[in-house]
Amino acid sequence: MSHEEETIERTLVLLKPDALDRGLVGEITQRFEKVGLKIVGMKMLIPSHDHAQKHYTEDLAIRRGEHVRNLMVDMLISGPIVALVLEGIEAVELVRKMIGGTEPKSAAPGTIRGDYSHVSFKHTDKHNSKLYNLIHGSSSVEEAAQEIAVWFDETELVDHQPTYTKNTLNK
């Protein structure tokens, strides 16, 4: 295995209902493509409660509390989502950097959350409301593998090399 192959990763991205409601799917997806990440899986669905709970595992409830988990599940099932599997060099870390901090208000300008969202934890806590922050990205390579398996069958992932890459490498 070459050094480059060792750094090629896959990661899960979920474009949440608020991203779809606001018509940001194309713009967000384009950011990932422009940086050189490759889409190897993509689908739109409205997750069931059980499916969303498989994504937001009991481990989350232990770390952040069952109430927070329930709010996150309710947000995820509140409308359609787009699930993506992206592939590229150190994709997990790159996607997390592009997404920005979990709290939109604190996310850096230039990140997806920093550019397209502004909700604060204080606001959601005060109103006991769901945190609409547009997007989810896996936080580690191990988590990415687990999350991809929740949303995609292996047969739904397409291993391909873009034509431009083939042409570039063969010259």
Active site residue ranges: 136
Our measurement of the distance from residue 48's CA atom to the centroid of its chain's CA atoms, rounded to an integer in Å, reads: 18
Judged by DSSP in three states, 91 sits in: helix
How far apart, in Å, are the Cα atoms of 105 and each of 74, 82, 86, 114? Answer: 21, 23, 26, 7
The enclosing H or E element of 161 equals: none
Give the residue among 83, 82, 98, 81 at the shortest CA–CA distance from 33: 98
| Number of residues that this document lists for the chain | 171
Q: Which long-range contacts (CB under 8 A, 24 or more apart) does 33-37 make?
A: 35/88, 35/94, 35/98, 36/88, 36/89, 37/86, 37/87, 37/88, 37/91, 37/94, 37/95
